[in-house]
Amino acid sequence: MQKIVIHEVGLRDGLQMEKQVVPTEQKLKWINRLIDAGVDIIQVGSFVHPEKVPQMADTDKLFAELTKNKTGKAILSGLVLNEKGLERGEKCGVEMYCLGVSASETHSMKNTGMSTTEATERIIATAKQAISAGKKVQVSVQSAFGCGFEGVVPHERVLGIVQKYLDAGLKNISLADTAGHATPDQIEKLYDAIYKLDSSVEAACHFHNTYGMGLANIYAAMKIGVQNYESSIAGLGGCPFTKVAAGNVCTEDFIHALQRMRFRKEINLLKLIDLAKEFAGFFNREMPGLVYKSGPIPMNQ
C-alpha cells in the first residue's frame, strides 16, 4: 500500500457547526499543534459569507498569519464555493483549494443556492483558474452515497460529475459521504468504477460517522486503493445544510487504527489525543472521538 495522506478538516468542517465562535488566536494555536503532530494537509477554513457561517469569518486572517511565518511541512487548504472565494484565497496565501459539487439537487440548493449542473460548471471553471495560478486543487462530489433529503443517490449521477471533472483535466477527486449513508460495499463499487474511468485518478474520501460506519468505510476505501483521507480532530463536524448533521471520522481514532496496522507511525498520536482533550475542555462537552477517552493501545501489543 502506498502512503496514506491525512487531510485534517476539523478547523473547517469541525467548527462550522459550533455556535460558540472560536477566537482567531485559539485557532492558530490549534493549527500549529496539528502541524507539529505531523498531519499532511490542514483545512484552515472556508471562504463563505460570515453571516451564513460566522465561525469562518476569520479564514482570510488565519491564512495570512499562517503563511507569513510558515512552519512545518503541512499543506494549508481552504474550501471555496465560487469565484469570489478563489479571489479571497489568492490574496491571503491558500496553498490548496478544495471545491465541491453536490450530487443531490436538494443539498446543492441548500448549500450553494445553485443546481448541481450550474454548480458543476462554476466549480470546474474556478478549479481551472486556480490550477493556472499554480495551486494544488481538489474537487469533490458531495452527497455521493446518499442524501438525507432525497435518499438514494444513483451511482450514475456521481460518475457523471466525476467524468466532467476528468474531461476538464481534474484528477484529484474526493467523494464525500455528507449524510453518512455509505456502506463498505458501496465504497468499493463506486471507487472501482472511478478507477475504471481513469486509473490515474488521485482519489480521496470524506466520510461522516452519522450512523457509525466511518472507519469501516475508510477500511473499504483503503482496500480499493484510495490514498487521501479527510478526517476531523475529536470527531467534530457536520454539514449544517444536510438533514441529519453529525461528525466526521475522528482523526485520532483513525490514526490509532492506522498505527495498529503499522501505517503512519511517524504521526504523533499522543499530541492528537491531547488536542482532542483540549477541544472537549474548550467546548465543555464530551467529543465523539473514542481513543482520547480510552487511551491508545500500546504499539507493542
Residue-wise pLDDT tens digits, 173-183: 999 998 899 99
- Catalytic residue from among 98, 147, 205, 239: 239
Per-residue exposure over 219-256, b if at least 16 CB sit within 10 Å of its own CB, e if not: ebbbebebebbbbbbbbbbbbebbeebbbbbbbbbbbb
Going from the C-alpha of 111 to that of each of 83, 104, 176, 239, 294, the distances in angstroms are 16, 10, 14, 9, 36
Predicted confidence band of residue 200 (pLDDT cuts 50, 70, 90): very high
pLDDT at 69: 80
Using a pLDDT cut of 70, give the percent of the chain over it. 96
Per-residue exposure over 52-74, b if at least 16 CB sit within 10 Å of its own CB, e if not: ebebbebbbebbebbeeeeebeb
Q: What is the mean pLDDT of the chain?
A: 92
Residues of the chain by 3-state class (helix, strand, coil), percent to 5: 45, 20, 35
Pick from 65, 98, 60, 57: nearest CA to 80: 98
Average pLDDT over residues 18-38: 96
Average pLDDT over residues 54-59: 95
Average pLDDT over residues 104-120: 80
pLDDT at 267: 97
With a cut of 70, say whether residue 170 has pLDDT above it. Answer: yes
Average pLDDT over residues 190-200: 98
Read off the DSSP letter of residue 234: G
- Stated as kind and residue range, the H or E segment containing 65 is helix 59-68
Predicted confidence band of residue 3 (pLDDT cuts 50, 70, 90): confident
pLDDT at 115: 83
Q: What is the distance between the alpha carbons of residues 248 and 231, in angstroms, rounded to a whole number?
A: 6
Pick from 124, 13, 75, 19: nearest CA to 228: 75
Q: Check residue 174 and give left, alpha or beta (phi > 0: left; psi -120 to 50: alpha).
A: beta
What confidence tens digit (pLDDT) does each residue in 237-263 have? 755 444 445 678 999 999 999 999 999
Q: Which residues contact 289 (CB under 8 A, 6 or more apart)?
A: 234, 235, 250, 251, 252, 253, 276
Q: What is the distance between the alpha carbons of residues 109 and 113, in angstroms, rounded to a whole number?
A: 4
- pTM for the model stands at 0.94
What confidence tens digit (pLDDT) does each residue in 68-97 have? 988 889 999 999 988 999 999 999 999 999
Report yes or no: 110 and 90 within 8 Å, Cβ to Cβ: no
Pick from 243, 255, 244: nearest CA to 218: 255
Instruction: Tell me how crowded residue 25 is: count the other CB atoms within 10 A of its CB.
Output: 10
With a cut of 90, say whether residue 30 has pLDDT above it. Answer: yes
pLDDT at 242: 46
Report yes or no: 87 and 41 within 8 Å, Cβ to Cβ: no
147 is catalytic: no
Instruction: Write out the three cell numbers for 49.
Output: 459569507
Domains and CATH numbers, the chain: 5-294 (3.20.20.70)
With a cut of 60, say whether residue 29 has pLDDT above it. Answer: yes
With a cut of 70, say whether residue 1 has pLDDT above it. Answer: no
Average pLDDT over residues 129-148: 94
Write the DSSP assignment of 174-194 as a string of letters. EEEETTS---HHHHHHHHHHH
Predicted confidence band of residue 301 (pLDDT cuts 50, 70, 90): low
Predicted confidence band of residue 26 (pLDDT cuts 50, 70, 90): very high
